[in-house]
Each structure stands twice: as C-alpha cells, then as structure tokens.
A and B are shown apart, each in its own frame.
Chain A
C-alpha cells in the first residue's frame, strides 16, 4: 500500500490532508486550529470532507477497485459455515459472497467499489464514461438515521460507517438507502451469538472512505492510486465550489448536490446524468427485486449496481415532523397551564368521559 501511495499520491495532497487534522474519527469538534493554520484551505464550516470525481478523466483502468480491495482486505468478513438455519427459512435466506470474492462488476461485501460504464450520445458526440461507484456518504444518511441499533453512523468528518461489531445484518440500511449500497454477508457478526435462528442475518459492508487512512492523514486508497487523478478530497464547501467550477468549465453537470438532500460524493460529468442513468447496467432501484427473482443465482443475491437518476431527500418528511415533536411538549405545557386538565380530573372519579 505504501508503495502505491508514493507512486501517485502527491505530497501536497497528503500534506493537505494531514494539515486538515481529519483524524480523530468521530471527534465532535474538527481540528479548527490546524485548519486555520493551513493557508491553502479555508476552514470548513461543518468539518465535513467531500470527494469530487471528475468523470471526464476516468479511463476505467480499475486500479481504484484493486486498491480498495487491498486497502480494506482485513475488514472483509470470514464467515463461519455452515450458517445456522434461520426461521422462517423461506423468507430468511443467507446471503453468501465468500465464494464469490472475485466478483468486481457490482458491490458486494468484498467489493466496495466497482466501475460502471455508460456509452452516451450527447449533442452529436459520443462519450464513453467510466464511473467509479461506491457509497455516496450522504449528508443526512438514512442508513445511519434509520438503523435501529446505532450500528451505522455518520462521523463528524462526513463519512458513514457501519460497525461490524454491532450490525445485525437485517439489511434495513440497504432497503432505506436510495442507492441500495450496503451489501450483506451472512455467517458473521453479533447475530450468531444472540438468536441466530430468529433475528439478524450477518453484517452489512460498504465503502467507509478508508477511515483508517484518513485518521492518519493519508488519502483513501482509491484516490491515492488513481493514475488520472480522477478524485479530489477536501472540505465540502471547497469541493462543492470546485465541482461547480469544473462543471461550468466543461459545460457539464454535477451529481450529488441535490440528490438525497446532498451527498459528500460529487460526480462531475460532461453529459447529463439522466443519460448516464439510462445507459448504465443497473439492477438496483424499484422493481429490481422482481427482476432478480428470475435471475441467476449470483445475481439473485441482491442488487448491487446503483442507479444514477434523481433522488429526492428521503428524510425530508422526518425533518418536517421533527418540528411537531419539538413543539408537542411545549403545547402540552401551554394547554395544561391554560386549564386543560384541572376540570378533567373531577370527571375522573365517576369514570365519565369527556
């Protein structure tokens, strides 16, 4: 790994990350003094790091896919077999990728990054676009917000991570993720020690933005290894500005600013993402399950090729309802003070209802 980083990760970029103080995973306060001292980078207001992928540069060499595997190999699951039989067996089936570790044309528990290809005609020109796909690291990630066990979490530095020690493998994160990114491996994790037949089904895996490298001030493996410098990482505000400028320059488009309310992964492309979405081979999204049921066994293990269409902010309703939840106790207090209740008590004794 070290060799790879030296080969391609420029010193300035690594130094830049170090100066950012992006270590201290999950620390509440970003390292503000370190940021202030760095003249190249204005202090990010929210401490979130984002990545920018310039799709006009990617040659589809696959070095990033390889590097991701190497860098994260020690995080990959080693399932205990045979899997305990689950109930009800017709509905709770194990998902096993441990014999398909080489699959690299979709997301699996052993492949957190893969390349999509889109051949697109646009304004009378033909484009051959390669798209490295992995977790989008949403700004308000439903995978983390909706996880019932607190196993999936967003860190202050803007990345989402699933703790393999706490994940029950219920795959809810995959269901609620607009891109259905996390992938399941059965036969590992906490569920095996609780009620393996009745609850849980393994552990969910996805890109964690190489937190172990970021914590050391180093670049994520896929960024460092890329011979074309497709990816850039930095404070979100700066990355957003850069993405917009780049899009303007190439008369292109940005993906990730609006999608799901904003993500910390921004794609810039010379062709509209709607055309890319039509052209890529994807088996995710609505209706995917139905298609998959008929498909071959490897594919039937679940969708793993994320779409690239528009995605609404899936947590928006919750955000609106939050106001109601915060006002409710205040309203209750006001109603009580204004006299709702005192007269109700008197009706209590004879059990008569209001």
Chain B
C-alpha cells in the first residue's frame, strides 16, 4: 500500500468514523437482538435503537466536520500537489451523497418538518444504497492495494 501524502491522523479518523458510522447505521436495522449481538458482554447497548441513533448523529457530525475541513484544504492548496485517484474520486462522490442524504434525514426528523413520503423514501434509499456502494468501492480499493484517496501529482 502506498503511503498517503496527507496527514495520517486524518486517514485514521476518517476510517474510524466511517467504520463506526457503518456499524451504528447497520444496527439501525433490527439486527442486534435477532443475531444475539446484545448478549455479548459489553454490547447490550447495540439493542438500544435510540442510543445507537444518537451515536450515529454524533459520529455523522464529526464526519461532516472532517469532510468540510478536507474540502476547504483541497481548495486552498492540497489540490495543487495532490491528485484524486479514480477510486478516490468515486468514493468522495459517494461519501458526499451519504453526508447529504444523512443531513436530509436529520432535517426530516426535526419536529415540525413533514416531507412528502415519496421524498422520504428517496432520501432513505439513497442513504442505504450509497452505503452499500461505498462498501463495495472500499473493498475493491483494499484488494487492489490503492486505498489512498489521493496521490502526489
């Protein structure tokens, strides 16, 4: 694997956030109880939909912060020395879609906000499908040994 030309802590934080968001997102589906995850010592919290949901919100906010920070830095200078790989660009687009659909979900959950059920459905399924696409892309990148999003020009 190539060393990434951007700070290691950014990659590590990004990977941690995406992994933790994937987990808390997946456990939004009623799986933890059915598949006995809740019976593993220390994992009982995975069965608490509200707790997992709130953690997902917090992690999502952190990823939004990181993504905005990276985007600004890209515009400010990283873009001159770095080049997005093909898979990197694809994943940036997917992560962007996930963040946007996630934000729309947060918006929809505010009291006093009622969107047309058709919009809700679109937002919901966009979020779910993009998540699956990101998983596939990450796997491909990992197998090809090109998991860095960007390389030096």
Contacts and interface: CB of A to CB of B under 8 A. Distances in A.
B117 interface: yes
Contact of B117 (A145, A149, A153, A345): A153
Nearest to B105: A145
Given A150-B124, A150-B125, A322 B109 contact: yes
Contacts of B123: 150
Contacts of A347: 7
Contacts of B58: 321, 324
B110 interface: yes
Given A149-B124, A150-B121, A341 B76 contact: yes
Interface in A111-167: 139-140, 144-150, 153-156, 161, 163, 166
Interface string B77-115: 110010000000000000000010011001111111011
B69 A340 contact: yes
Interface in B1-45: 3-10, 28-31, 33-36
Nearest to B103: A325
Contact of B103 (A46, A170, A326): A326
Nearest to A156: B114
B69 A348 contact: no
A328 B65 contact: yes
B79 to A, nearest CB: 11
Residue among B30, B109, B112 with the most chain A CB within 10 A? B30
Contacts of B49: 146, 172, 175-176
Residue among B57, B67, B73 with the most chain A CB within 10 A? B73
Contacts, number: 181
A193 interface: no
A326 B9 CA distance: 24
Given A261-B111, A318-B109, A325-B64, A341 B28 contact: no
B136 interface: no
Interface in A309-325: 314-315, 317-319, 321-322, 324-325
A331 B4 CA distance: 25
Given A150-B124, A155-B114, A335 B69 contact: yes
B8 A351 contact: yes
Contact of B61 (A147, A163, A321, A353): A321
A344 interface: yes
B116 A336 contact: no
A337 B54 contact: no
A67 to B, nearest CB: 26
B69 A28 contact: no
B7 A354 contact: yes
Interface of B: 3-10, 28-31, 33-36, 49-50, 53-54, 57-58, 60-62, 64-73, 76-78, 81, 99, 102-103, 106-112, 114-118, 120-121, 123-125, 128
5 contacts: A88-B35, A139-B111, A140-B109, A149-B124, A333-B71
9 closest A-B pairs (Cβ-Cβ)? A336-B72, A332-B68, A150-B124, A341-B73, A170-B30, A328-B64, A153-B117, A140-B111, A328-B61
Interface of A: 26-28, 46, 48, 88, 91-92, 139-140, 144-150, 153-156, 161, 163, 166, 170-172, 175-176, 199, 261-262, 314-315, 317-319, 321-322, 324-333, 335-337, 340-342, 344-345, 347-349, 351-354
Given A91-B36, A321-B57, A325-B64, 15 more contacts: A26-B116, A140-B109, A148-B28, A148-B128, A149-B128, A314-B50, A317-B54, A319-B110, A327-B61, A331-B68, A332-B72, A336-B71, A341-B72, A344-B10, A349-B5
